A and B are shown apart, each in its own frame.
Chain A
Amino acid sequence: MARAAVLGRLTWRAVTVTGVRDETATARTLVLDAGDWPGHLPGQHLDLRLTSADGYSTQRSYSIASAGPGPVEITVAAVDGGEVSPYLARDVRPGDQFEVRGPVGGYFVWRREDPAPVLLAAGGSGIVPLMAMIRDRSASDSRVPFRLVYSIRSPAEAIYARELARRVRDDHGLDVTYLYSRSAPEGWRRAPSRIRPGDLVANGWPPELDPLCFVCGPTGFVEATATLLAGAGHPAGRIKTERFGG
């Protein structure tokens, strides 16, 4: 239960960056040694605190990208002019330390034992907690059908593109559809646009199958997608949202 994962006091812990992986020109995965991390459910996030040499500190939330035991990973997309994300996505290098606490959030989570088909709808960096679900599904040899609809501006912005391609091939029952909002690859059938009702009809699940829908990304994307899903007949309680801001 999510409860168990958040029970008790969430204390700050020092973590050490053990690896960095560029996902796109602006997004980077940080691999963290988080000591005796208590574990987490896919979809949960952590709070991260950066403190400067003169004692100033600031906090932000980041979804956990990794699943299961092992190092905790986060993926950060640099937001222009941002206080924290450019530092994490550009300046951090292995050996660096900062503080985190978590896991946080017991609602936007996928549970292995839930047999309902799953729709994942991601906008930009909103893919991060949904990737944790895809990884957890794979780690648990789950046969629950997953469909990911991933909206990005252009092909170059696809986070985890190679891993997703590999999983579509190897993890049975995972479908991935890219929606490009500004520029699509040469010869792509769908003209670039923001998410439209037809995208979810063609690539999602009908409400009769009672799927669980997870929608994550910038506020505008989440608002639009959750409204489309509700309009298509999915009950509000089956549409879980996480808004990253922006």
Chain B
Amino acid sequence: MAIVARGFTGRGRSDPALPPGQYLTQDFPVLSAGPTPRIDTSRWQFTLATETGERQSWTWEQFLALPSEDVTVDLHCVTKWSKLGSHWTGVPLEEFLGELDTSAEYASVSSYGGYTTNLPVEDLLGGQAWIAHRYDGEDLTPEHGGPARLLVPHLYLWKSAKWIRGIQLLIEDEPGFWETAGYHNYGDPWREQRYWGD
């Protein structure tokens, strides 16, 4: 039985569009562990490496030349806010991973600034993940991960690595920055997988 907080009413009803323990915000809060890196697109590069050490890189121009999609998705941050119906433009991960010869099941995503996060490769495929470069019709600002960030909206937002720089495919899972600091390895908001053991 939950403990009732005397006299607390709050906003009343939970929104069925919100995962458990989340509340709705209209703003777009910022969460990151350090200063915001500023990356010039002239020196931006995205590198995909397979488990056998094969590497492929894209410059900013090459990246933008790939087919992008406009998507409208809900965002869920582990610090409890959710933002519904946010508009993004990004390149689906199939564009990078589609033709690849790999048996890797895990991905380690790394960012400019040193951030890392991990997720299963299958969560990057099937129209579930993009490398996004526009938000709400504008170029993505550095605070929100620009010039480009991973967008995997079905997982808590820390998995959507800002300032993405590369993806390393792995045979064995490798927990990232928050995942080694007590946060859940997978991070499904609908199962409220915030922390280890959730």
Contact = CB atoms under 8 A, between A and B. Distances in A.
B65 interface: no
Given A3-B182, A9-B196, A236-B37, A50 B30 contact: no
Contact of A56 (B10, B35, B178, B194): B10
A26 interface: no
A236 B197 CA distance: 30
B23 A236 contact: no
Contacts of A243: 29-32
A245 B29 contact: yes
Interface magnitude class on chain A: 35 or more
Contact of B4 (A52, A61, A241): A52
Given A84-B10, A219-B30, A236-B37, A51 B2 contact: yes
A58 B35 contact: no
Given A9-B197, A243-B30, A58 B182 contact: no
Contacts of A108: 33
B83 interface: no
Interface stretch (B11-19, B90-98, B122-130, B149-157): B11-19
Given A50-B10, A52-B4, A59 B182 contact: no
Interface string A223-238: 1001101100000110
A169 interface: no
Given A61-B79, A104-B182, A10 B197 contact: yes
B105 interface: no
B62 to A, nearest CB: 27
A59 B196 contact: no
B26 interface: no
Given A58-B11, A236-B114, A6 B31 contact: no
Interface string A116-155: 0000000000000000000000000000000000000000
Given A51-B3, A243-B29, A8 B9 contact: no
A60 B35 CA distance: 24
Contact of A99 (B3, B12, B80, B81): B3
A98 B196 contact: no
Interface string B134-162: 00000000010000000000000000000
B82 to A, nearest CB: 12
Contact of B29 (A50, A51, A219): A219
B120 interface: no
A68 to B, nearest CB: 20
A192 interface: no
Contact of B195 (A3, A56, A59, A104): A104
Interface string B31-46: 1111111000000000
11 contacts: A47-B194, A49-B2, A51-B5, A52-B9, A58-B23, A83-B10, A96-B5, A104-B182, A107-B178, A236-B37, A245-B81
Given A10-B197, A51-B8, A236-B114, 16 more contacts: A3-B180, A9-B197, A10-B195, A49-B2, A49-B21, A55-B2, A57-B10, A57-B21, A59-B80, A83-B11, A96-B5, A98-B3, A99-B2, A236-B34, A236-B113, A243-B29
Interface of B: 2-14, 21, 23, 27, 29-37, 79-81, 113-114, 143, 177-178, 180-182, 194-198
Interface of A: 2-3, 6-10, 14, 47, 49-53, 55-61, 83-84, 87, 91, 96-99, 104-108, 219, 223, 226-227, 229-230, 236-237, 239-241, 243, 245
Query: Top 9 A-B pairs ranked by shortest CB distance?
Result: A9-B197, A6-B182, A226-B35, A106-B181, A51-B2, A230-B35, A50-B5, A98-B5, A59-B21
